[in-house]
Amino acid sequence: MEFIIEALLSFEVILLILVLFLIKSTIKFVPQNQAWLIERFGKYQSTKEAGLNFIIPFIDRIAAERSLKEQAVDVPSQSAITKDNISLVVDGVLYFRVLDPYKATYGVDDYVFAVTQLAQTTMRSELGKMELDKTFEERDMLNANIVSAINQAAEPWGIQVLRYEIKDIVPPNSVMEAMEAQMKAERVKRAQILESEGDRQAAINVAEGKKQAQVLAAEADKSEQILRAEGEAKAIMAVAEAQAEALRKVGEAADTEQGQKAIQLDLATKAIEAKQAIARESSVVLLPESGTDASSLVASSMSIINSLNSKQKA
């Protein structure tokens, strides 16, 4: 009896284990951004996407697990010849993702290897269409052309190439030396141009400075001459006004009786001084005459002054 009970318990345990195994084999949890391809009796049956999925144990099997994430593949270095027959060593990085897991599984044996080889051959083909200088100047266009060509060829594989980046382009040593010499000559040329432009600008600045200095000096001389002329004119006007004022005052004083006497005295004094001067300078003795004595000179001078006063009053 105990043996039968133990056998039944063992059978139940085995049955439970079998049920749990069947449940585990039936229920499948597909991770995010992945796709599982299911085959039934060796033939494609369905594609299971992320989440909870069910399959039939012992009949269905997981044929492939494909990642739908963007993948980066290093494209190995390879030799390529440009349009002007220069050999280059080029490597790059390819970014792609699986759009159709069915085509990526059944359309090609190894899609990563296939797309890498396709990138290499396409890169050699595109470099053969360009000259050496263009490969450095138009790298973005070269990358875009490679991506376009790979996408056209990889469409039956369910692969989409997002971008291709050339990491390095290494020309031969002789070409490198020639490029360095060219760059050095270009830098020397730029330095000489900048130096000549600096000398030219300095000469222009010196000339402008001299010109402005001459202009300022001429304006200063002009201003000085104008001020000197104005000063001289003002001085002449002041002297003339002073002389006029003196003559006016003399005239006013001469119009009085005391002024007439003062004039007579002054004229007589000047006449005597003139005769004394003549006598000192000459050996001729001058005798006074009736018409040339001091009284007659004073009388004649007074008649002239009276005549002038009468004209001024008139």
* Residue 78 and residue 161 in one domain: yes
Residue 162, in any domain of the structure: yes
- Which pLDDT belongs to residue 96? 92
* Residue 167 and residue 177 in one domain: no
* Residue 124 and residue 109 in one domain: yes
* Residue 88 and residue 158 in one domain: yes
Task: Please report, for the domain that includes residue 109, its CATH number.
Answer: 3.30.479.30
- Which pLDDT belongs to residue 275? 64
Residue 226, in any domain of the structure: yes
**Rounded distance between C-alpha atoms, residue 118 and residue 177, angstroms:** 32
Domain extent at residue 57: 2-67
Number of domains in the chain: 4
* Residue 34 and residue 48 in one domain: yes
Domain end residue (candidates: 118, 148, 171): 171
Q: What's this model's pTM, rounded to 2 decimal places?
A: 0.52
Question: What residue ranges of the chain have pLDDT lower than 70?
Answer: 1-9, 11, 175-176, 178-179, 247, 250-257, 259-268, 270-271, 273-314
- Which pLDDT belongs to residue 61? 87
* Residue 222 and residue 235 in one domain: yes
Residue 156, in any domain of the structure: yes
* Residue 97 and residue 35 in one domain: no
Domain end residue (candidates: 40, 67, 94): 67
Residue range 149-198, pLDDT digits in tens: 889 888 899 999 999 988 888 887 776 676 677 777 888 888 888 888 88
Domain end residue (candidates: 191, 213, 245): 245
**Rounded distance between C-alpha atoms, residue 271 and residue 293, angstroms:** 9
Residue 250, in any domain of the structure: no
- 3-class DSSP string for 201-243: HHHHHHHHHHHHHHHHHHHHHHHHHHHHHHHHHHHHHHHHHHH
* Residue 186 and residue 241 in one domain: yes
Residue 39, in any domain of the structure: yes
* Residue 212 and residue 294 in one domain: no
- Which pLDDT belongs to residue 290? 46
**Rounded distance between C-alpha atoms, residue 126 and residue 128, angstroms:** 5
Give me 107's structure tokens. 């359309």
* Residue 208 and residue 272 in one domain: no
Give me 308's structure tokens. 């002038």
Closest CA to 135 of 83, 99, 177, 187: 83
* Residue 48 and residue 85 in one domain: no
Residue 234, in any domain of the structure: yes
* Residue 75 and residue 153 in one domain: yes
